[in-house]
Amino acid sequence: MTTIVVASTLYGAMTAAAALEDEQAPRSRDTVLVVVNNAAAPELTPALDEIDAAAPVLARFDRVFRLGPLLAPAHPSTWDPSDDDLPVLRRLLQRAWGLDDTPPRLLLESVGTLPSRTLARVFHDAAVVVYSDGLMSYGATRTAVPLEIAQRIEAVRYLDLVPGLAPLLLSEHGVPSHPIDVATFRSVIDEVADRTDPPATSGNGRSAVLVGQYLATLGILSRDEETALHVSMVRAAADRGATRVRFKPHPSALPSDLGPVRAAAREAGVTMEVIDDASPVEAILRHDPPTLVVGCYSTSLVATERLLGVEAVTVGTATVLSRLRPYADSNRIPLTIVDGAHADPSYDADRLRALVASVVYAMHPERLPWLRSTAEEFLETADGDTLDRYFAGASLDALGLPGETPRRLRSALRRSASRVLRSPMTGLLVRLADRSPRQLIEGRLRGRGLRRF
């Protein structure tokens, strides 16, 4: 049997390679890696097989092909052919990738989105395994998966980045999830790290790696706000004693002005280096492990803490949580996990699991109805800050879940108090309260043209 692995990032290809190596009973006589460049401008962004450090990962596969040139000028993320075209496309791909008529096995990174969903339709008789390298696997399936594909999904393979949490991805279809051996994945990281360049600067003292976000690209923050977020990362690192920082821009981020970030570093008295390497952060850090890694809600925060034992510091999670629209934005789950695990030390594994389950249910009640009892139990004891931070009032109200009515009453009281404090009568009473009886009498007499007594 041939296994076709579809990957859009080097980190994803590393995860898939570890998943194949970790299989209890290897089932494939050969493996094919299909590289997908999902960047909006593929000609400006290197594909994973163009990254020098990818060589050890590519060597693990028998053949490597790019999907983009076959589809050009169409973009892989828009490839959604009609059912009538599927037989022709299958013959085309079999010829291009050297496949026979035997049903292959597909190892896909996101079966609900294009082009993975299209490949699952083209190879309609293929068994499917979904692999996940990020925190979104702990949430509900982002998009509905057609039943004819869901019935062929054998398992979800995932990196166990958050001990105590189990992925909910595809659980609505009864798909089991199996963790990838952490030691196996570390060995892949080491192979890639051997091909990355060491940092330009090194030395003693506390150091930090700042993991950039691409929230402006997603439309969650403005470009100025994203720059301010990165400035806050520099200051957070300095506040924790770092004397040297390395900033790793996100590969999908828009070009940003690093001037304010560099200025913040100079003001804080720390040296700054920009990492110009498309390799995953986890591999780059193996050369010169930092004291801490600072970011907003990147998977790299949790991965470096779990896999490399580096302290993680979060910045700006509350702001981004408040900006996500709609409420069911899939970024909410990584944000909730990172924020709950780091912003509040009271969140142990059980409470974090209950929080995530409750947020997932509020986002997708129709997809995961069995989480309702967990959500009800959690929300019964949740305080106002937790409700305001993680939940949309309209969602709780519509679902009849605990916590919304008291919060609305508190909000109404705050609005009423604000109106009272802004009223002219309140202002007069406050001014009078600051004056003595003698001052009040004198003021009244002066108003009538009488002399002081």
Report the C-alpha gap between 56 and 195 in whole angstroms. 8
Angle (CA) 216-305-54 rounded to 5° is 70
Report the C-alpha gap between 96 and 152 in whole angstroms. 24
User: Could you tell me if residue 50 is inside a domain?
Assistant: yes
Same domain, 154 and 113: yes
Which string of DSSP letters, residue by residue, matches 413-453? HHHHHHHHHHSHHHHHHHHHHTS-HHHHHHHHHHHTTPPP-
Report the C-alpha gap between 390 and 358 in whole angstroms. 9
User: Could you tell me if residue 398 is inside a domain?
Assistant: no
Which of 320, 341, 369 lies at the terminal end of a domain, its last residue? 320
Task: Work out how many domains the chain is built from and give that number.
Answer: 3
Which string of DSSP letters, residue by residue, matches 147-169? HHHHTTEEEEEEE--STT----T
Q: 3-state DSSP call for residue 200?
A: coil
Same domain, 245 and 131: no
Same domain, 107 and 20: yes
Report the C-alpha gap between 177 and 90 in whole angstroms. 29
Beta bridge partners of 210: 247, 294
User: Could you tell me if residue 239 is inside a domain?
Assistant: yes
Q: 3-state DSSP call for residue 214?
A: coil
In Å, what is the CA distance from 184 to each residue of 7, 18, 181, 399? 19, 6, 5, 43
Same domain, 213 and 189: no
Is 386 in contact with 346 (CB distance < 8 Å)? no
- pLDDT score recorded for residue 420: 55
For 416, the token pair is: 């009423």
Report the C-alpha gap between 154 and 151 in whole angstroms. 8
Q: What is the CATH number of the domain that holds 246?
A: 3.40.50.1980
What type of residue sits at position 64? V
- pLDDT score recorded for residue 99: 96
User: Could you tell me if residue 121 is inside a domain?
Assistant: yes
Which of 261, 288, 320 lies at the terminal end of a domain, its last residue? 320
Q: Which residue stretches of 155-296 are H helix?
A: 182-193, 215-218, 223-239, 259-268, 281-284
- pLDDT score recorded for residue 332: 96
Same domain, 163 and 274: no
Phi, psi of 105 (to 5 degrees): -115, 135
What type of residue sits at position 166? A
Same domain, 174 and 261: no
Q: Terminal CA-to-CA distance of the chain, rounded, Å?
A: 107
Same domain, 287 and 144: no
User: Could you tell me if residue 408 is inside a domain?
Assistant: no
User: Could you tell me if residue 72 is inside a domain?
Assistant: yes
Helix axes 332-342, 349-363, angle to 10 degrees: 160
User: Could you tell me if residue 328 is inside a domain?
Assistant: no
pLDDT tens digit at each of 453 positions of the chain: 899 999 999 999 999 999 999 986 666 679 999 999 988 778 878 899 999 999 999 999 999 999 999 999 999 999 999 999 999 999 999 999 999 999 999 999 989 899 999 999 999 999 999 999 789 999 999 999 999 999 999 999 999 999 889 999 999 999 999 999 999 999 999 999 999 877 766 666 899 999 998 899 889 999 999 999 999 999 999 999 999 999 999 877 777 779 999 999 999 999 999 998 889 999 999 888 999 999 999 999 999 999 899 999 999 999 999 999 999 999 999 999 999 988 766 678 899 999 999 999 999 999 999 999 999 999 999 999 999 999 988 889 899 999 865 555 555 445 555 565 566 665 555 455 455 555 545 555 454 444 433
**218-253 pLDDT, tens per residue?**
899 999 999 999 999 999 999 999 999 999 998 777
Same domain, 152 and 274: no
Same domain, 15 and 109: yes
Q: Which residue stretches of 269-348 are H helix?
A: 281-284, 299-303, 317-323, 332-342
In Å, what is the CA distance from 423 to each residue of 415, 418, 420, 428, 433? 12, 9, 5, 9, 16
Which string of DSSP letters, residue by residue, matches 40-69? SSTTTS--GGGSGGGHHHHTTSSEEEESHH
What type of residue sits at position 393? G
- pLDDT score recorded for residue 348: 87
Picking from 107, 110, 100, 105, the residue whose alpha carbon sits closest to that of residue 125 is 105
Same domain, 243 and 136: no
Supply the range of the domain harboring residue 168: 2-193
Which of 127, 161, 193 lies at the terminal end of a domain, its last residue? 193
Same domain, 68 and 136: yes
- pLDDT score recorded for residue 286: 87
Q: What is the CATH number of the domain that holds 48?
A: 3.40.50
β-pairing verdict for 271-274 and 292-295: unpaired
Same domain, 426 and 311: no
